[in-house]
Structure 1
Amino acid sequence: METRKYLAAYGYMALWIFLSAFVIMLNKYILDPKLGGFPFPLTLTAAHMLFCAVVSWLLVKVKLIDAPAMPSEVYFRCVLPIGALFAVVLWTGNAAYLYLSVSFVQMMKAMMPLLVYTVGTAFGTEKWCVRTGINLAVVVAGVAIASYGEVVFVLVGAAFQAVSMLSEATRLTLVQLLLQGRGIKLNPITTLYHVAPVCLMFLVLPFAWLEAERLMSQEWKVGPGLLLLSAAAAFALNCSIFLLIGKTSALTLNIAGVAKDVMLIYLSMTLYGSVVTELQVSLTQPEAVLITTSS
C-alpha cells in the first residue's frame, strides 16, 4: 500500500513538472515581443482564468463532476483570498517574463521552498526544523549570487517575480488548508469551479486600467489557436497543482519544482538562447541536491 502511495505521488509530480514546463515555455514565447509579440500578461492571465471558469462550470452543470456546497465562512476566509492571490501570482509571474529570461526566473524560483516552508510554519501546515531552515537559507544565498551573476538583470522584472513568489507561497498554503483541513471534499475541477471566477474577478479591473486600450489599438502576431492552447494547458496545469497538493503538500510541490527549474534553465538556453554564466550553472545543481535531501 505504501509503495503504491509513493508511486502515485511521483506520478502526480511528473505530470505537474511536464505541464508546468510546457506552460512556462509557451507563455514565454507568446509574451516575448520578439517571438509571439503579445506583451499583455494581464490579458493572457485573464484568458486562462476565463477558460478555467467556463470549463469547470460546464463540467459541473452537465453533472460530470459534483460540486459540494461551499459554506460562506470557508468561502470568505479561504476561497476569496486564494482567488485574489492567484490573480497576483499569475499577473506578476507572467509580467516578469517581459523583462527576464526563463532561466533566471527559474533560478529565482529556487527560493520557493523556503518561502512555502516559512509561510507553512506560520499557518501551522509545516513544523519548524532548524536543520531544514539552515539548508533553505543556503539556497537563498545561492540565488543572491546567481542574481549577481545575471547578465541581463532588470530590477522591475525581479520585483515582479519576487511579488509573484511570495503571493504563490501564501496561496499554496491556503490551498493546502482548504483541501486538507476544512472537511470539504474538493477535487481539482471543483476547486477551480470555486477559485477561477474569483481570480478572474480580481483581474478585470487591472486589465481594464492597464491593458484594454493597448490591446484594442495594437496589432499582435499571436493567433487565437495558440492562445487557446495556452489556456487549455493552464487548465490542465491548475488541475495537476490542486491534485498534487491535495495528495501530498504545498512543500512537496515546491521541492519537485526544483527539478523542473533546472530542466527549464537548460531548455531556455537551448530554445531561446538565454545566456547563463558559469557561476550560475555551478550554483544551480547543488541547490537541487540540497533542497531534495533536506525534505
Structure 2
Amino acid sequence: MERAGEKSTPAAAAEEERRWRWREGAVTYAHLLLYIALSSGQIFFNKWVLSSKQINFPYPVALTLLHMLFSSVVCFALIKVFKIIKIEEGMTTEIYATSVAPIGAMFAMTLWLGNSAYLYISVAFAQMLKAVMPVAVFFLGAAAGLEELSCRMFLIMSVISFGVIVASYGEVTISWVGVVYQMGGVIAEALRLTFIEIFLKKKGVKLNIISMMYYVSPCSALCLFVPWIFLEKPKMDSSGSWNFPPVTLFFNCLCTFLLNLSVFVVISRTSALTARVTGVVRDWVVVLFSALIFADTKLTVINIIGYAIAIAGVVGYNKHKLKVGTSPTASSQSNSNHNNPESSQDVQIPLVPPKEAA
C-alpha cells in the first residue's frame, strides 16, 4: 500500500510487476514439479504393489477396481455430502449412456491393461511404448472426423512410430504378452480421448475434473467388476500367498486421486499443451529412475536412441497442436475448451497467469 502523499513511480510499478510475476512463476513451476513427482511416483507405486515380493498383490484388475471405488466415494462425498464442489448442469440419461459410459469403459480398460503390463515388462519399456499414444489418437481422431490428414502430421507420426520400433528393438528382455497389454492400454486410452472430444464438441457438456470423475469412476468400477469376478476372484480365492495391506493400498488409491487433481490444477494454471509437454518430462524421469530402482530394467544405447527419436516426434506433435489451437479457426472455440482439462483442443495460456486488477 502507498503511504499518504506518496505516488507510485513507473520504476516502483515495474518492480512490483516483476516480483508478482516471479512469485506466480514460482508457484506454477511448483505445481508442475508436483505433477511430475505424483505421476512418476504413482507409476513406481503401482509397479511395486503389483510385482514386489514384499507386497505380493499381482492383481491389476482388483487394484484398478479399488482405485475407481475410492475415487467414486471421495467424489460423492465432496459433491453430495459436504457440497464443496458443484457439478455442472446438462447431464442426462441419454448423454450418460452414449458418452460417459463409453468413456468410463475405455478408462477402465486403459488402467487395467496398463497395470497388467507391469507384470511382464519393465517400467521404462512400458513408458517407451506409451510414446506411440499420439499416433493412435491421431488416426482414431482422423477416422472420427476430428483430425485432418496432412503430410506434416503423417511425417510426425512416422517419426514417433520409428522411434518406438527402434526402442523396442533395443529391449534386452522383451515379453510379447506385456507388449500386447501395453499397446491395448494405449489403444483404449486413445479411444477414451477420442470419445471425450466427441463428447465435448458434439454434446456441448462442460465438466471439470471432479465432475468428470464423479460420473466416470462408478461406470469404470462397474466395468472392472465384471472381469474381476471372472478372471481374478477365483485366483484370489484359491491362492493363499497374496497379501492385502490396507494401509499401503489406501495410500496407493489416495495417490491416484491426488494425481488426477494435480492434472486439473496444472491445466487450470497453464494449458492442456503444457500438461502434455510436462508429461514428456515425466516420461524421461520415469525411464531414467526406473533403471536405478528396478532390477528388471536394463537400458541399452538403442533403447535411449529410439526413445529420444520418439520423444522428438511427440514434441513436434505438441508444437503442431499448439499452432492449430491458436489459429484463427480455433480461436472461436477457445472459451469453451480451455475450461475443460480433458479437451484435446489446446489453448495457449501463458505460463504465468495475467495479473488481476486491484
Fold shared, TM-score > 0.5 on shorter chain: yes
The aligned residue for residue 210 of structure 1 is 231
Letter in 2 for 1:67: I
Distance 1:89 1:212 in 2: 20
SS at match of 2:241: coil
Which of 164, 181, 185 is the matching residue for 1:143? 164
Q: Structure 2: 5+ residue runs without aligned partners? A: 1-20, 320-358
Bigger radius of gyration among the two: 2
Q: Render the CA deviation track for 1:175-215: whole Å, top value 9, x for unaligned.
A: 24435653333111111110000000011111011111332
The aligned residue for residue 345 of structure 2 is none
Distance 2:133 2:300 in 1: 22
The aligned residue for residue 77 of structure 2 is 58
Q: Render the CA deviation track for 1:64-103: whole Å, top value 9, x for unaligned.
A: 1112341222212210000111111111110000000001
The aligned residue for residue 47 of structure 1 is 66
Checking the alignment, whether the CA contact within 8 Å between 1:188 and 1:243 is kept in structure 2 is no
Q: Is 1:18 aligned to 2:40, yes or no?
A: no
Q: Is 1:283 aligned to 2:306, yes or no?
A: yes
SS at match of 2:131: helix
Normalised TM-score (structure 2) = 0.73
SS at match of 2:171: coil
Matches within 5 A, 1:117-266: 117-179=138-200, 182-216=203-237, 217-221=239-243, 223-241=245-263, 248-249=271-272, 254-266=276-288
Q: CA deviation at 1:288?
A: 2.1
Q: CA deviation at 1:238?
A: 2.7
- Alpha-carbon RMSD across the aligned residues, in angstroms, is 2.7
Q: Render the CA deviation track for 1:145-175: whole Å, top value 9, x for unaligned.
A: 2212211111111101111000101102322
Checking the alignment, whether the CA contact within 8 Å between 2:140 and 2:190 is kept in structure 1 is yes
Q: CA deviation at 1:277?
A: 1.2
Q: CA deviation at 1:287?
A: 2.7
Checking the alignment, whether the CA contact within 8 Å between 1:114 and 1:136 is kept in structure 2 is yes
Q: Is 1:89 aligned to 2:110, yes or no?
A: yes
The aligned residue for residue 55 of structure 2 is 36
Distance 1:130 1:9 in 2: 36
Distance 1:122 1:255 in 2: 25
Distance 2:201 2:36 in 1: 22
Checking the alignment, whether the CA contact within 8 Å between 1:31 and 1:37 is kept in structure 2 is yes
Distance 1:35 1:150 in 2: 27
Distance 1:176 1:16 in 2: 23
The aligned residue for residue 67 of structure 1 is 87
Q: CA deviation at 1:291?
A: 2.2
Which of 313, 316, 319 is the matching residue for 1:293? 316
Normalised TM-score (structure 1) = 0.88
Q: Is 1:101 aligned to 2:122, yes or no?
A: yes
Moved more, 34-43 or 150-159: 34-43
CA, structure 1 residues 19+86, in 2 after alignment: closer, same or farther (shift >3 Å)?
A: same
Structure number having the greater helix percentage? 1
- Which protein has greater RCO, CA pairs closer than 8 Å, 6+ apart? 1
SS at match of 1:220: coil
Checking the alignment, whether the CA contact within 8 Å between 1:113 and 1:255 is kept in structure 2 is no
